[in-house]
Amino acid sequence: MSETTKNIKVEYNSSVFTPAGWRSVTITAAAEQISEKRCRILGVMLIDGKVPSGYASRTGAKRQTYNAAGVSKREIGKIKNLSSLVL
């Protein structure tokens, strides 16, 4: 790709650790396309349809809680293959 990068919105699945074990979440993020087949995550907008702040729970149960802010920070800077994302 040329010097210019393209900003895109992507959606993908990731896993979070809860007291009940690993659970799947859907992440919506802003990314920049760094090559024809890859992108770098710039920031997480939503985790399971909610803004990532503090702790969140998948079902409302205490045993399903996870650190949404920590998951959001962990994802920033990751390189993802575009073939595994929803654009």
| pTM confidence score | 0.87
What is the C-alpha separation between 7 and 33, in angstroms, rounded? 6
What is the C-alpha to C-alpha distance for residues 48 and 57, in angstroms, rounded to an integer? 10
**Residue of 3 and 80 predicted with greater confidence:** 80
Tens-place pLDDT, residues 25-78: 999 999 999 999 999 999 999 999 999 999 999 888 999 999 999 999 999 999
Q: 21: which residues sit within 8 A by CB, 6+ positions away?
A: none
- In tens, the pLDDT along 70-81 reads 999 999 999 999
Q: Single out the residue of 39, 23, 32, 43 nearest to residue 85, CA to CA.
A: 39
